[in-house]
């Protein structure tokens, strides 16, 4: 039973945190010492790796990245000075992210709601859970070749354009549909965990006011997991930005974004294009372009975008105070 | 436990000495005999295990009925059966009948029943939204878009006033309800529960998570609220039951052992088990 807190009393001023004496590491058992040292090595080693990565690309970026590159379209040229900028790959990355997220976010969220809030029949919800795991575990190159086989079927000609014996199969729309699969698992998992962490009492409170289950989910449960959804979506977006295989196989990885016809947006969606990842691949010594300077510049931009997203995930977690499940744990 | 209880009483003594010893009886509302809720031979099972066995009782307009008994005696289960919240537990089943104003509650649509028989829980559980929206939520149609705030304002204000919270929060009703203190949150939950003017208010140990000061405020509130509705309250705190209840039902291992006027149950219980429990012999 908690003691009653004294009322009044001297105001407590914050002071420097004092630590009591602790047993020195030297007095620990050898095995504990070894684990202690190993964890320090592992931790600092990871920090060094991350720092090396970021510093390398900051240096390369500062070296090769010019503002003009960001607003110039790439051109086919052997001479790096004439091969243009990376405007199209940047646009392609952003567009693919939007398409992928527009498909993945509703699917992931709705699936999570169904599994957690309804989940009947049990066997079906277990199958759904396994299905998400299968998608999460499938290598993106496998997803890509499956997507290509699918979208080359004649019925999908409107998604790209018709070819003798079927469809071309490569377009922003097709790549966006398949790339959404790499974002769904993180959105699903974040939403599901948020739903599971939302206290049952919150739902009961709503039912006890005479609300239906749908009203409860819409008005009470969803606001409680909004942040989890945002976190999952941001993580999923990072996965889409980083994907290469699907872009190469399903977007065509053309140098420029080439609308299929002159209809605004629709033409773009049905046309081929590139993203930063495919551009980096093509420009690197391994690709056809052989423009490593451009590859470094594009890699610096891509890394910056992903780091911004990660920073965004951390920010989302702090909007408007701790999430409801944490607040409850603290016994607000 | 006993030390905690002493602390509690000592603190309450400091705040409101008249509430302790001798227990001052609040003015009885009216000795109305209008029966609102009738429980007829109700048993509730979780799987094969009976949590409530063949309980019959009735609840009248304007009274506070306290359900007391040791942990696991079925009082919360009985309470949750009254507005069919037990149906949310897949393994739960029941027999017997519960009548609300003569109508079988199982014939009513569950949402309609729960609008008329509202509930306040042990842990304050405000929704993650503003104070206004918490109370307004109850008043809105199912999942419909929010009616204009101006339309809801009078009802929300009135509910907050009845719950004794209005003075403390009216300056900023858009503040997140999660920022309120525990006692304020619980009063907000009461405001939310009475906003749509239910006929019965169920309370499941509404003060057990609160400090003595907030407890005293809520007890006063309960006594005032009973003017307009019937209240069924589950409590572990015998002193609390004695302070606020008009009638007390003692349950033990799923049985309703004794039901009577508060004073009679505490001073002159008919059953030996009741006598032992109210004397603190077990529980």
Query: Domains along chain A?
Result: 65-316 (1.10.3720.10)
pLDDT over 90 for what percent of chain B?
A: 55
Mutate to test the interface with B, among A1, A209, A211 (most CBs of B within 10 A): A209
Residue A59 CB contacts under 8 Å (≥ 6 apart), including other chains:
none
CB contact under 8 A, B115 and A4: no
Of A201, A215, A331, Cβ closest to residue B143: A215
**Three-class secondary structure of residue A262 per DSSP:** coil
Residues paired with A253 in a beta bridge: none
A20 in contact with B, Cβ within 8 Å? no
The answer to whether residue B24 sits within a structural domain is: no
The reply to whether residue A212 touches residue B142, judged by beta carbons under 8 angstroms, is: yes
Q: Is the pLDDT of residue A58 over 60?
A: yes
Contact A204 B88 (CB under 8 A): yes
- Residue A25 is given by DSSP the state G
Tokens 């929704």 sit on residue: B127
Does the residue B140 lie in any domain?
yes
Q: Give the C-alpha separation, B238 to A89, whole Å.
A: 72
Confidence of residue A275 (pLDDT cuts 50, 70, 90): very high
Q: Please say whether the beta carbons of B62 and B223 come within 8 A.
A: no
Assigned domain for B25 exists: no
Using a CB–CB cutoff of 8 Å, tell me whether B267 touches chain A.
Answer: no
φ/ψ (deg, to 5) at B211? -80, 165
Contact call for A205 and B125, based on CB within 8 A: yes
Q: What DSSP letter does each residue of chain B carry, written as one string?
A: -HHHHHHHHHHHHHH-GGGTSSPPPPPP------EEEEEEEEEEEETTEEEEEEEEEEEETT-EEEEE-STTSSHHHHHHHHTTGGGGSTTEEEEEEEEETTEETTTS-HHHHHHHEEEE-SS----SSBHHHHHHHHHS-TTPPPPPHHHHHHHHHHHHHHTT-HHHHGGGTTSBGGGS-HHHHHHHHHHHHHTT--SEEEEESTTTTS-HHHHHHHHHHHHHHTTTSEEEEE-S-HHHHHHH-SEEEEEETTEEEEEEEHHHHHHS-SSHHHHHHHTTS--
Q: A133 and A192 in contact (C-beta within 8 Å)?
A: no
**Distance separating the N- and C-terminal Cα atoms of chain A:** 18
Q: What is the pLDDT of residue B76?
A: 92
Which of these ranges, A98-112, A181-195, A277-291, B155-169, has the smallest mean pLDDT?
A277-291
Average pLDDT for residues A292-298, to the nearest whole number? 88
Q: How far apart are CA A256 and CA B145, in angstroms?
A: 45
B138, closest residue in chain A (CA to CA): A209
Question: Which residues in chain A touch residue B10, judged by CB atoms under 8 angstroms apart?
Answer: 4
In a domain, B20, yes or no: no
CA distance linking residue A4 with residue A46, whole number of Å: 47
The phi and psi torsions of B43 (rounded to 5 degrees) equal: -120, 140
Name chain B contacts of A211, Cβ cutoff 8 Å.
111, 114, 137, 142-143
pLDDT of residue B11: 65
Q: Is B7 in the A-facing interface, judged by CB distances under 8 Å?
A: yes
Range of the domain at B87: 3-15+32-278
State pLDDT tens for residues A117-134.
Answer: 998 899 999 999 999 999
CB B162 within 8 A of CB B194: yes
B241 CB within 8 Å of a chain A CB: no
At residue B7, the pLDDT reads: 62
* pLDDT tens digit sequence for B94-132: 999 999 999 999 999 999 999 999 999 999 999 988 899
Q: Decide if A4 touches B, using CB distance below 8 A.
A: yes
Using CB atoms, which residue from B112, B125, B212 is nearest to A210?
A: B112
CA B19, CA B239: separation in Å to the nearest integer?
A: 9
pLDDT tens digits for A195-251? 999 988 899 999 999 998 988 998 889 988 988 999 999 999 999 999 999 999 999
Contact of A199 with chain B, judged by CB distance below 8 Å, is answered with: yes
Interface test with A, best of B110, B117, B125, B132 (most A CBs within 10 A): B125
Q: Domain tally for chain B?
A: 1
The reported pLDDT for the residue numbered B244 is 93
Angle between helical axes of A292-316 and A276-283 (0-180°, round to 10)? 150
- B111: in domain: yes
Q: What is the mean pLDDT of residues A158-170?
A: 85
Mean pLDDT rounded to a whole number for chain B: 85
Contact A214/B143, CB-based, under 8 Å? yes
pLDDT at A145 over 50: yes
Provide the sign of the torsion angle of the four alpha carbons B145, B149, B150, B151, taken in this order.
positive
pLDDT band at residue B30 using 50, 70 and 90 as cut-offs: very low
Report whether the peptide linkage leading into residue A321 is cis, meaning its omega lies within 30 degrees of zero.
no
Q: What pLDDT, on the 0 to 100 scale, is given for residue A91?
A: 93
Residue A54 in contact with partner chain B when CB distance is under 8 A: no
**Confidence at residue B255, expressed as pLDDT on a 0 to 100 scale:** 93
Report the gap between the CA of A227 and the closest CA in chain B (Å): 12
Distance CA A159, CA A169 (A): 7
DSSP state of A113: H
Using a CB-CB cut-off of 8 Å, the residues of chain B touching A212 are 111, 142-143
Kindly indicate the confidence band of residue A12, based on its pLDDT and cuts at 50, 70 and 90: low
A313 band by pLDDT with thresholds 50, 70 and 90: confident
Look at residue A26 in the predicted model and tell me its pLDDT: 87
Please indicate whether, in this complex, the C-beta atoms of A223 and B129 are within 8 angstroms of each other.
yes
Which residues from chain A sit within 8 angstroms of residue B116, using beta carbons? 210
Angle of helix A292-316 versus helix A30-64 axis, rounded to 10: 120
- Facing B143 at nearest CB: one of A4, A219, A321: A219
Calculate mean pLDDT across residues A250-273. Answer: 86
> For position A49, what pLDDT does the model report?
96
B207 C-beta neighbours (distance < 10 Å), count = 24
Q: Which residues of A touch B3 (CB under 8 A)?
A: 1
First to last CA, chain B: 11
Average pLDDT, chain A: 86
Q: Give one DSSP letter per residue of B42-100, joined into a string.
A: EEEEETTEEEEEEEEEEEETT-EEEEE-STTSSHHHHHHHHTTGGGGSTTEEEEEEEEE
Structure-token pair, residue B233: 């309250």
Cβ of residue A204 closer than 8 Å to a chain B Cβ: yes
The torsion of the CA quartet B204, B209, B215, B217, rounded to 10 degrees, works out to: -90
Q: Which residues of B touch A208 (CB under 8 A)?
A: 83, 85, 114, 118-119, 121, 193, 202
User: Is residue B76 one of the residues assigned to a domain?
Assistant: yes
Nearest residue to A234 via CA among A325, A326, A306: A306
pLDDT confidence band for A332 (50 / 70 / 90): very low
> Around Cβ B191, how many Cβ atoms within 10 Å?
27
Average pLDDT score over residue span A271-281: 92
Say if the Cβ atoms of A2 and B128 lie within 8 Å. Answer: no
Cα–Cα distance, B2 to A147 (Å, whole number): 69
Out of A37-51, A66-80, A167-181, A187-201, pick the least confident.
A66-80
For residue B97, the domain's CATH number is: 3.40.50.300
φ/ψ of B54, rounded to 5, equals: 50, 55
| Residue B228 maps to a domain | yes
- Rounded to 5 degrees, φ, ψ at B142 are -50, 115
pLDDT at B258: 93
- Whether B283 maps to a domain, the answer reads no
CB contact at 8 A, B232 and B150? no
Mutate to test the interface with A, among B127, B132, B193, B208 (most CBs of A within 10 A): B127
Give tens-digit pLDDT for B52-84: 999 999 999 899 999 999 988 999 999 999 999
Does residue A264 or residue A53 have the better pLDDT? A53
Nearest chain B CA: its distance from A191 CA (Å): 16
Q: Sheet harboring B117-120: ordered strands across?
A: B117-120, B200-204, B230-234, B64-68, B247-252, B255-261
Rounded Cα distance between A80 and B16, Å, is 86
**Facing B121 at nearest CB: one of A201, A211, A218:** A201
Contacts 24+ apart (CB under 8 A), B265-269: B266/B238, B266/B242
């Amino acid at each position: 039973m908690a003691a009653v807190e004294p009322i009044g009393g001297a105001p407590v001023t914050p002071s420097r945190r004092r630590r009591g004496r602790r047993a020195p590491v030297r007095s620990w058992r050898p095995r504990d010492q070894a684990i202690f040292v190993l964890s320090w090595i592992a931790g600092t080693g990871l920090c060094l790796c991350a720092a090396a990565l970021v510093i390398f690309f900051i240096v390369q970026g500062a070296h090769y990245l010019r503002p003009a590159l960001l607003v110039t379209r790439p051109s086919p040229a052997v001479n790096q000075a004439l091969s243009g900028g990376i405007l199209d790959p940047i646009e392609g990355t952003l567009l693919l992210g939007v398409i992928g997220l527009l498909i993945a976010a509703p699917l992931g969220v709705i699936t999570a709601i169904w599994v957690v809030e309804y989940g009947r029949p049990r066997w079906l919800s277990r199958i759904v859970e396994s299905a998400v795991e299968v998608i999460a575990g499938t290598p993106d190159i496998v997803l890509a070749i499956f997507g290509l086989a699918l979208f080359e079927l004649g019925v999908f000609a409107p998604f790209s354009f018709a070819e003798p014996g079927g469809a071309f199969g490569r377009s922003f729309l097709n790549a966006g549909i398949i790339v959404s699969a790499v974002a769904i698992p993180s959105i699903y998992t974040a939403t599901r965990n948020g739903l599971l962490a939302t206290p049952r009492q919150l739902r009961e409170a709503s039912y006890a006011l005479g609300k239906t289950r749908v009203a409860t989910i819409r008005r009470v449960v969803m606001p409680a997991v909004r942040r989890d959804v945002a976190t999952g979506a941001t993580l999923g977006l990072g996965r889409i930005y980083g994907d290469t295989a699907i872009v190469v196989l399903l977007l065509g990885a053309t140098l420029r974004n080439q609308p299929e016809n002159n209809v605004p947006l629709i033409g773009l969606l049905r046309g081929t294009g590139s993203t930063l990842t495919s551009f980096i691949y093509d420009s690197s010594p391994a690709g056809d372009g052989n423009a490593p300077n451009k590859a470094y510049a594009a890699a610096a931009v891509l890394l910056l975008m992903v780091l911004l997203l990660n920073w965004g995930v951390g920010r989302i977690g702090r909007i408007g105070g701790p999430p409801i499940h944490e607040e409850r744990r603290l016994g607000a | 436990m006993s030390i905690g209880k002493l602390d509690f009483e000592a603190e309450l003594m400091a705040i409101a000495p008249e509430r302790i010893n001798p227990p001052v009886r609040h003015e009885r509302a009216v000795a109305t005999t209008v029966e609102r809720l009738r429980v007829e031979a109700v048993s509730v099972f979780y799987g094969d295990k009976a949590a409530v066995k063949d309980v019959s009782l009735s609840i009248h307009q304007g009274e506070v009925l306290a359900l007391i008994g040791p942990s696991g005696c079925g009082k919360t289960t009985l309470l949750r059966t009254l507005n069919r919240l037990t149906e949310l537990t897949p393994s739960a089943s029941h027999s017997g009948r519960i009548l609300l104003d003569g109508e079988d509650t199982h014939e009513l649509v569950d949402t309609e029943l729960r609008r008329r028989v509202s509930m306040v829980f042990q842990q304050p559980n405000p929704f993650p939204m503003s104070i206004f929206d918490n109370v307004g939520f109850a008043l809105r149609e199912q999942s419909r878009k929010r009616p204009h705030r101006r339309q809801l304002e009078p009802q929300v204000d009135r509910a907050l006033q009845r719950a004794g919270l209005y003075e403390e929060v009216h300056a900023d009703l858009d503040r997140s309800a999660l920022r309120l203190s525990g006692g304020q949150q619980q009063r907000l939950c009461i405001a939310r529960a009475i906003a749509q003017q239910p006929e019965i208010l169920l309370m499941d140990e509404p003060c057990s998570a609160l400090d003595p000061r907030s407890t005293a405020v809520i007890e006063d509130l309960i006594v005032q609220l009973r003017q307009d509705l019937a209240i069924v309250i589950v409590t572990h705190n015998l002193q609390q039951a004695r302070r606020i209840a008009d009638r007390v039902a003692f349950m033990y291992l799923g049985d309703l052992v004794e039901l009577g006027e508060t004073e009679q149950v505490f001073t002159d219980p008919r059953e030996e088990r009741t006598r032992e429990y109210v004397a603190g012999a077990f529980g």
